[in-house]
Structure 1
Amino acid sequence: MYKYQSPTSERILEKTEAEMKFRGNGKLLWNLTKNSLAQQSPNGIAKKVLPASSYSTVQKTIPLEQPNLLKYHVLPLEETLNRFMTTVEPLLTPEEFQRQKGITSEFLKKQGRELQLLLEETGSKEKNWLAHRWLKAAYLTYRDPVTVFVSPGMTFPKQNFRDSRAFVDYTARVIYGLGEFNDMVHANKIPIVKMGKNELDNSQFGKVFGTCRIPRRGTDEIVYNPDSDYVVVIYKNHFYQLKIYSKEGKLIAAPCLAAQLENIVLKETQVGVPYGILTTDSRDNWAEAYEYLVETPGNRDALKTIQGALFTVSLDEGTILKEGEETDELILSLIHGSGSKINSGNRWMDKTIQLVVNPNGNVGFTYEHSPAEGQPIAMMMDYVVQKMKEDPSFGQSGSQDFAPAQKIQFSSSNKSLEKSLNVAQENVDKLADALQMKVLKFNGFGKDFIKKQRLGPDSFVQMALQLAFYKMHSEPPAQYESAHLRIFDGGRTETIRSCSNESLAFSRAMQDPNVTDQERAAKLREA
C-alpha cells in the first residue's frame, strides 16, 4: 500500500510589506514589451506552425521570424584543441599536461581529421548543427532527476497575503499576466534585442508555453502545445483543468479565474495521491512508472491533459518560515517542493513553466530547462510583476465568458505504481535533505564599486568563487559559467571555462603571506 504522510497544515501569512522590486534590466524589457503589447491586434492571435526538434512528438512551436540571424559554423579543429589545452593546463600537473599534449597531437593527426570532415559536412547543411544535438545530449538523455539537477527556480517579490482570498486573487492576476505575455509571443511582439549589429534569437520564447517533457527509457521526448487555451491547477495533489481563454480566444478576467481557484480550494479538503511526485524521480524510474500509468485509458487522458496545458499552477500548502531563512526556504520550495511531507507531490516537474504560489507569500517559477534558457522565463516574470505593480486593476477587463474548472481524474494505482510512488517519495526526500541552501546578503560593496576599480562584476565574482574553492581544497576547480549563443539561429549556450593559469596564480598569491596586496591586485587584474 502506498505510504502517504500528510503535509504540514499550518498556513502562515506574513505581515511584512511586500517587496515590489524590479530587478536587473527589467525596466528596459518592460518598456519594450509594453510598447509591443500596445501595437498588437485586439485578440492577439497569430498563426502557429513550425517544425520543432526531431525529439518532439508534436512538431510545432510558435514561429518568430528572424531572417537575419547568424549561421552557427563549425570551428576549425586546431582552434578547438588549442582552447581545450588552455582549459586543462591549470588543472593538471606538468607531467599530466605533457602526456595530454601528446594525446591531443595524435588525435589531431588521425581520428580528429576524419571526425572534423564529417562535422563540417553536417554543418554545411544545417543552420545550427549543435542545437538539436545539444538538446539530446545535455537534456533528453540525462537520466538524473530534473528536480535539483536540472530545473532552476526563479523568485517573484515576497507577498503579504492577508487572507485566502488575497492568495487566489494574486494567483489569478499572475495567470492573466502570463496569458497576456503568451498573446504577445503568438503575435510576434516580443522585442528583438541586438548585440552590436546582430540580432539575438527569440525562438526560445515560442517554445515555453504549452511545452512538456515526456519520460522515456533512455531518451526523453518533448511535446509542444502552443495552441493550448488552459492551465492545470494543482492543489493538495489534485489536478484541475482551468480554461483561461474564452471561446472567442480572449483572456478570461482575473476575478473569474480567482473564483474558480477559490472553488478548487474550498472543494478539496483531503490530500490526494501525489502522482506529481513521480515527476521528481530519476528519468528512468519515472519512465517506468509512466508506462504503468498509461496502461489505463483514463490515466492516458489525464496525462495528455496535464501535458497539454500552457503551464501548471501549484497552489501550495502553507509552510512555517523560520526567521532569517525566508529566502532559503523560498528557493528550496521552488527547486524541490521541500520534500514529500510538504509540497513535492504538488508539482509536475516535466512542465516548462510551473507557477508556484504559497499562502506564506512565497511565489515563483520552477521551470524545466530542456527547451529554453532562463531569459524568456525571466522576461515574462518581469513583465507580469511590473504590470501588477503599475496597474492595481490589471486583469479586470478580460472576458466574463468562462467554463467551470474540470477535475482531472486518475484511475486507481496498481501495486507496481504504488511501489513507484513510494520510491519517488523516498528519493525526493533524500534530494531535499542533501541540498543545502544558504543565501548571504553581502553589504560590503556592490557592482558600482567593482566597476570603479575597472573590473567586471561577473569576472570579479568568478575569481571570488575560485579563491574560495582553492582555500578549501588547495587546488583549482574545473569551473563552469554559461554564455548564451542567441546571436546564432537556434543558439542555446556555450561554456566559459573561467579557470586559467592566471586565475590559479591569483589564488596562490592570495594564500601566500609573502605576496603584497599590490601584487595580489595585479594578479587579480591579470586573471
Structure 2
Amino acid sequence: MLKLHRFTTLRKTKLHLCQPLVIHPEIPADSYSTSAAERDFLHRSILRTDHFQASLPRLPIPQLEDTLKKYLESQRQILTDAEYDQTVDIVNKFKATEGPDLQKRLIAKDKQNKHTSYITKPWFDMYLKSRLPIVLNYNPFISFQDDPRPEYQNQLIRSTNMIVSSLKFMKTLRANVLEPDIYHLNPAKSDNTRFRKIMRMIPSSIAFYGAYMYKAFPLDMSQYKNIFNSTRVPRPGKDELVVDSEAKHLLVMRNGNFYVFDVLDSNGNILEPEVIMSSIHQIMQDPSPPAPHPVGVFTAENRDTWASYREKLISLGNEEAIKLIDSSVFSLCLEDDAPTDPNAITRKFLHGEPGRIWFDKSLSLIMTRSGNACVNFEHAWGDGVAVLRYFNEVFNDSIDKSVVHPSTNVQTGAGNIRKLEFKLDQEMKDNVEKSVKKFNATMQSLDVDHLEYQKYTKSYVKKSGMGPDSLMQLAIQMAYYRQYKQTVASYESCSTAAFKHGRTETIRPATAETKRACMLFVDDHPTPSTEELKNAMLACSKKHGSLTRNAAMGQGFDRHLFGLRNLVEEEGGKLPEIFTDPSYQKINHVIVSTSTVSSPAILIGGFAPVTADGFGVGYSIEPSRIGFNVTSYPPARDAPGFIECAKKSLDDMYEVLEGRNPRKAK
C-alpha cells in the first residue's frame, strides 16, 4: 500500500473472487505413473493450469471522467468544506488541461504492452522500491485452524504432513495439472467434469470466452510461480525477486539457527515422509542454544541497510549459506513455545522474536510447539488469491491424506541435515545486536487486540438483506466514529484476478451512506426510528456492493490515478497539481486499513497499521462467528478501545436487525 497494499494483504487482500478446489484424482497422466501421481500430486486436473491464461481479458483503464468523479466522491467524506472546494477546483483544472493528454499516453503505453496490465510493473516496483522494513509494513500472516484430530495437532506430525502437502502443491502446479482458478457464477452449470472436458477442446487463445458462455470466469494465476524456491533479495534502491526452481531443499529455522535438508530426490520426487519426519525430529532435538547473533533479524531492517549488511556477510564468506536460504523451497519456522491467547498468537505469527523468521522468503510456514500453524508471506511477489489457494489446499490435503500419523515410528539418522553457520566479524556482531534492539523496540510499540463475536453470522446477515462484508465494513466505520467522532481515509483491498496480471484495487469504505449511518447510531440528536436505522444500514450495503463490483472489475479510481502518476514520474515530467494537492496525500494516508479473507481453514489473520496513526483491521465473517484482529501504535491509536467500539456497533446493529431500537434503550 503506496504503503498500504498489503495483503492484499490481511496487507492484505480482499478476496471477492473465489476459487473452486475441485480434485480429480481419477484423471490419468500421460507423463507420470499412477503411483507417482497418487503420492506426489494433489490431483490431476482435466484442464491445464494455464489453459485460460493466454485469453484472459486485460485490466481496463477506466474513463478519466469516471475516475475523477469517484475520487471526489470519496474525498467529500474526509475533507472539510474548504479543503473539498479547493480539491474540486484542482480536479476540474486537471480534467481540462493535463488529464486528457496523460490519459491518452497511458492508453498508448498500455496498447504497447498487451502481454500484461498497465498496473503490473508499477505495482511490483512500488513494493520493491520501498525502503521500509517489510516486517509490520508489508508482511501479513494467516493462521490455520487446528487439525480436527487432536492426536495430529502435534508439531512434528503436523509439520511433516504440511511439508509434504506443500510439496505436492508445488509439483502439481509445476506439472501444469493444478486445477485452474475459476469463479463459477452458476456452479451447477459449470463446476463439473462435462464443463472441463468441453473447455479442454477449446484452444487456449479463446478459452476464456468459452468459459464466459457458461458464466464461469477463469482467474489470473501468474503469481503462483513465485510461491516456491523464491525470495526477495535486498538491493540498494530497489529489491529483486529471485526464483531458483532447481533447488530441492527446505529451510528450517529454530531459535535463530538455520538448517537445510533435501525434501526432493535427484529426480524431483518427494522423499519418503518418514525421512522428512526424521529430519524435522532431529532439528527439534538439537540441543544447540539460541543463536547468539541471529542474522535473520537483518531481514527486518531498512532495505538499504539490509542490502549493505548482506554484501558484508557475503564478503565474510557466507555466500553459500545465503544462497541456500534464498533458494530453499520455503521456510519452516519451529517455535518452542505454545501461545494460546489470540493476541500472543498474533504477535508470534506477525513478527515473532528477533531472528526467528527470514521475512524475505516468499512463504514461511510457522509452527508452534502445540501445532498451531500459520503462513507469513512477503507481499511483493503476489496477493491473497494465490496464498489462499495454497493455504486451503495444504490444510485439506494434510488432513484428508495425512502421510504420517501418531503411530508412525520416527527413524533415527534418516535424512541429510546441514546446519548453516554464519561467519561474523565484530562489526557484524555489533550490527546484529543493534538490529535486535531496534526490532524489539519496534515490536513493543505495536498494540494488538482481538474480538470473537457470535451473536450473528454470515447466513443471518444475508437473510437480513445486508451483504456480510458491507456489515463488517459499517461496523469498522462506526467503531472509528464512536471512538474519534471522525470519518477518515479508509482502505479495503479487492482482488482484480479476473484480469491478466491483475493484482488489487481499492474499495473506499468511507461513504456518504456510512457517514450518515454512523451519525444516526452514535450522535446525540432526535432519536431515529428503528426503520430509519435499518434503512440506513441497507443503504450502506447497497453502496458497498456497488463499490465492490466496480473494484473487482478494475473500475475503482485508486489504481488508475496511481498509473497516471507513475507515468509522469517515469517520463521525468512535472507532477500535475492533483498529485501534489494535500488532499491527495490525505486520502492516501490511510488511517483505517482493512482486509479479509474467508475460508473454513482460517483461524485468524492480521497485519500492522500502514500509518503510525492508523489501525490495521483484519476481519472475517464465518458460518459460526465473526472475528476482528486489530493492531495500532499507541498512544496515537487505541486498539482495545477500537475493539470495544466495534462490539458496541455490532450489538446496536444486531438490535436493529432484530427489530429493536438501540437508541431508545439508552
Q: TM-score, normalised by structure 2?
A: 0.66
- The aligned counterpart of 1:262 is 281
- The aligned counterpart of 2:663 is none
1:521 to 519, 531, 534: 534
What is the CA-CA distance between 1:258 and the residue it aligns to? 1.2
Partners in 1 of 2:76 and 2:460 — Cα distance?
Answer: 32
- The aligned counterpart of 2:198 is none
- The aligned counterpart of 2:551 is none
- The aligned counterpart of 1:113 is 100
SS at match of 1:410: coil
Partners in 1 of 2:28 and 2:225 — Cα distance?
Answer: 20
Matched, 1:199 2:241: no
- Give the aligned length: 473
What is the CA-CA distance between 1:254 and the residue it aligns to? 1.6
Deviations 1:410-467 (A, max 9, x none): 212341x223212221222123212222221101111111101111000110011001
- The aligned counterpart of 1:17 is none
Matched, 1:75 2:62: yes
Partners in 2 of 1:447 and 1:174 — Cα distance?
Answer: 29
Contact 1:153 1:365 in 2 (8 A): yes
Deviations 1:352-411 (A, max 9, x none): 110111113321111111111122222222222222322344699xxxx98512222321
Deviations 1:119-175 (A, max 9, x none): 1111111131211111111x1122222112211111122369999995323212211
RMSD value, Cα:
3.0
Matched, 1:308 2:296: no
Contact 1:63 1:206 in 2 (8 A): no
SS at match of 1:240: strand
- The aligned counterpart of 1:446 is 457
Partners in 2 of 1:436 and 1:161 — Cα distance?
Answer: 33
Superposition pairs for residues 103-502 of structure 1, below 5 Å? 103-126=90-113, 127-137=116-126, 139-158=127-146, 166-192=154-180, 193-194=182-183, 196=185, 197=212, 198-272=217-291, 273-296=293-316, 298-319=317-338, 321=339, 326-337=341-352, 339=353, 344-393=354-403, 403-415=415-427, 417-502=428-513
| Percent identity between the two aligned chains | 22
Task: Compare 157-166 and 466-475 and name the one that shifted more.
Answer: 157-166
Partners in 2 of 1:88 and 1:427 — Cα distance?
Answer: 37
- The aligned counterpart of 1:7 is none
Which residue identity lines up with residue 478 of structure 2 in the other structure?
L
Which residue identity lines up with residue 307 of structure 1 in the other structure?
D
What is the CA-CA distance between 1:86 and the residue it aligns to? 1.1
Contact 2:77 2:488 in 1 (8 A): no
Deviations 1:37-94 (A, max 9, x none): 8758345799xxxxxxxxxxxxxxx977622201123222212111111110111122
Deviations 1:493-516 (A, max 9, x none): 010011111211111111234122
Which residue identity lines up with residue 236 of structure 2 in the other structure?
R
Partners in 1 of 2:385 and 2:422 — Cα distance?
Answer: 35
Query: Judging changes above 3 Å, is the alpha-carbon distance between structure 1 residues 134 and 26 closer, same or farther for their aligned structure 2 residues?
Result: closer
Which residue identity lines up with residue 486 of structure 1 in the other structure?
A
Task: Compare 310-319 and 483-492 and name the one that shifted more.
Answer: 310-319
Which residue identity lines up with residue 454 of structure 1 in the other structure?
G
1:97 to 81, 84, 99: 84
SS at match of 2:315: coil
Contact 1:37 1:189 in 2 (8 A): no
Partners in 2 of 1:129 and 1:25 — Cα distance?
Answer: 21
Contact 1:69 1:488 in 2 (8 A): yes
Q: Which runs of 5+ in 2 are unaligned?
A: 1-14, 42-48, 186-211, 541-666
Partners in 1 of 2:514 and 2:95 — Cα distance?
Answer: 28
Partners in 2 of 1:36 and 1:223 — Cα distance?
Answer: 35
Query: Judging changes above 3 Å, is the alpha-carbon distance between structure 1 residues 36 and 328 closer, same or farther for their aligned structure 2 residues?
Result: farther
Deviations 1:8-46 (A, max 9, x none): xxxxxxxxxxxxxxxx9999844x145488758345799
Query: Judging changes above 3 Å, is the alpha-carbon distance between structure 1 residues 41 and 437 closer, same or farther for their aligned structure 2 residues?
Result: farther
SS at match of 1:368: coil
SS at match of 2:366: strand
Deviations 1:305-330 (A, max 9, x none): 110011011112225x3xxx522222
Task: Compare 484-493 and 164-173 and name the one that shifted more.
Answer: 164-173
- The aligned counterpart of 2:32 is 41
Partners in 2 of 1:354 and 1:430 — Cα distance?
Answer: 23
Which residue identity lines up with residue 522 of structure 1 in the other structure?
N
SS at match of 1:262: helix
Which residue identity lines up with residue 264 of structure 2 in the other structure?
Y
Query: Judging changes above 3 Å, is the alpha-carbon distance between structure 1 residues 459 and 36 closer, same or farther for their aligned structure 2 residues?
Result: farther
Query: Judging changes above 3 Å, is the alpha-carbon distance between structure 1 residues 70 and 496 closer, same or farther for their aligned structure 2 residues?
Result: same
Q: Which runs of 5+ in 1 are unaligned?
A: 1-23, 47-61
Q: TM-score, normalised by structure 1?
A: 0.83
SS at match of 2:55: coil
Partners in 2 of 1:38 and 1:369 — Cα distance?
Answer: 36
Superposition pairs for residues 2-17 of structure 1, below 5 Å? none
Contact 1:336 1:428 in 2 (8 A): no
SS at match of 2:250: strand
Partners in 2 of 1:81 and 1:466 — Cα distance?
Answer: 24
